[in-house]
Amino acid sequence: MRFEQTVAIGDGRPPRHMHRKQTESFLILSGRMGIEAGGVVSEIGPGECRSVPPGTAHTFWNAGDVPCVYEVKLEPAFDMEHFFEGFVTLEALHRVPPHGPPDLLRIALLFGEHDNLIAGVPRVVQRLVYRLAQSIAWATGVVTPSWSEVAQ
């Protein structure tokens, strides 16, 4: 799976997270990106690439004074297009920081369905939270976010 993304100046950073079975690579097209992966902090610019191996906790941010445009590659892709569709939907609906208050139930559904983990929280705890989120969602009719919510 490959897509292009832009991080605006001051947009913050995603929580330290890991993909258990995927390598995530970042190729910088313009601007600068800071990356912390496995406890090592680095900064890369146009034409440079960093790969984060499976199971490595990481986060990234705009490290420059202009928007950072980069290409993301996830290998193998699995079903991550649906994860990012859901996350972009929540961003468009202003349901994730810094755009608005987090929709914790739907974020937990996304992370649980796509086996993404927040770094520093034991996997067993996260699996329990994700199962609880699934039960609450089922009982209340909440569904995983999809772009059709925004495109109406």
Q: Does position 11 have pLDDT exceeding 90, yes or no?
A: no
H or E stretch covering 90:
helix 80-92
Name the percent of the chain lying above pLDDT 90. 78
Give CA–CA dist 95/104, Å, rounded: 9
- What is residue 133's three-state secondary structure? helix
Q: Does position 152 have pLDDT exceeding 70, yes or no?
A: no
The domains of the chain, with CATH numbers, are 2-75 (2.60.120.10), 83-142 (no CATH)
pLDDT value at residue 142: 92
Tell if the pTM clears 0.75, that is, is over it: yes
How many other CB atoms sit within 10 Å of the CB of residue 122?
Answer: 9
Q: Taking each helix axis as running N to C, give the angle between helix 123-140 and helix 104-113, from 0 to 180 degrees, rounded to the nearest 10.
A: 120
pLDDT value at residue 126: 92
pLDDT in tens, 58-75: 999 999 999 999 999 999
CA 2 to chain centre: 14
Give CA–CA dist 96/79, Å, rounded: 21
pLDDT value at residue 10: 81
- What is residue 33's three-state secondary structure? strand
Q: Does position 88 have pLDDT exceeding 70, yes or no?
A: yes
Tell me 42's DSSP state. E
pLDDT in tens, 17-27: 999 999 999 99
Q: Does position 32 have pLDDT exceeding 90, yes or no?
A: yes
